[in-house]
Amino acid sequence: MICFTKYHLKDYELVNTHIPKYKLGANYCRKNLKQGGICIYVRESLKFNNIDLLKYSKEQDIEIATIQLNIQKRKVIIICIYRAPCGNFECFLNKLEIILNSLHIHNSEFIICGDININYLESNNKKNQLDNLLGTYNQLKLFFFSTKIVSNSVTLVDNIFIDKRRSYIIKPCSNGLSDHDGQILTLFNLPKSYNSI
């Protein structure tokens, strides 16, 4: 699974973008503003369903794409989010809560990832509010290293949240394609074909 945030492509460009052995699973492209949008690419061998959440996306406040994998009688819902630094945080939090409420069912779990522009290297009220919301869905925040290093600052604004019951390894991935470093999440206790998400 590959998730991109803030990728700068339009719908017609994204459809023509190909990554070998992967297919486009879900995406959100901005219609008005520049430099935003998100997408999820899925390995061709995996079966998934796209969950259409277009009605919840609002440029800058919450840009969202979602897929569902069915793994060992569980529904694993992968949510990729971009929230601009200038986005309305209350709108983001409210819409995220509505989305999680609508998708949460028995035998389901969430993997939430993306650039939410809340610096987890600092104590702040936005981080506390998001942690409180995600805690109600049994989500564990995975943050151990900075993801954005520029000349005068180091931040952790790209995050992954998973179910607290999952065993995992997370490591940084410097890819040279962005001012943000990537993250590689490996989950355990899954069928072999699903281990690296």
So what's the pLDDT on residue 120? 78
- Count Cβ atoms within 10 A of the Cβ of residue 193 and give its class: 0-12 exposed, 13-18 middle, 19 or more buried: exposed
Look at the block and give the residue holding tokens 């925040």: 141
- CA separation for the pair 191, 43 (Å, rounded): 14
So what's the pLDDT on residue 176? 58
pLDDT digits (tens, 9 = 90+) for 76-95: 999 999 998 899 999 999 99
For the residues 135-161, what does the mean pLDDT come to? 69
pLDDT digits (tens, 9 = 90+) for 31-73: 888 777 888 999 898 889 999 999 999 999 999 999 999 777 7
Say whether 170 sits in a helix, a strand or coil: strand
Residue 181 has pLDDT above 80, yes or no: no
Q: Give the pair of three-digit tokens for residue 110.
A: 């969430």
pLDDT digits (tens, 9 = 90+) for 7-26: 667 777 787 888 899 999 99
Say whether 196 sits in a helix, a strand or coil: strand
The H-assigned helical ranges of the chain are 11-15, 89-103, 125-135
Give 122 or 102, the one with higher predicted confidence: 102
- CA separation for the pair 129, 142 (Å, rounded): 16
Look at the block and give the residue holding tokens 């069915």: 70
So what's the pLDDT on residue 187? 80
Residues 143 and 156 sit within 8 Å (Cβ to Cβ): yes
Question: Which span out of 81-90, 146-155, 182-191 was modeled with the highest average pLDDT?
Answer: 81-90
**Closest Cα to residue 89, out of 62, 128, 53?**
62
Say whether 186 sits in a helix, a strand or coil: strand
Res. 107 pLDDT band, cuts 50 70 90: confident
pTM of the model: 0.83
So what's the pLDDT on residue 4? 64
- CA separation for the pair 186, 167 (Å, rounded): 9
Residue 96 has pLDDT above 60, yes or no: yes
So what's the pLDDT on residue 108? 85
Res. 192 pLDDT band, cuts 50 70 90: low
So what's the pLDDT on residue 175? 63
Residue 101 has pLDDT above 90, yes or no: yes
For the residues 90-101, what does the mean pLDDT come to? 97
**Closest Cα to residue 53, out of 8, 103, 15?**
103
| Distance spanning both ends of the chain, measured CA to CA | 5
Residues 24 and 41 sit within 8 Å (Cβ to Cβ): yes
For the residues 115-141, what does the mean pLDDT come to? 87
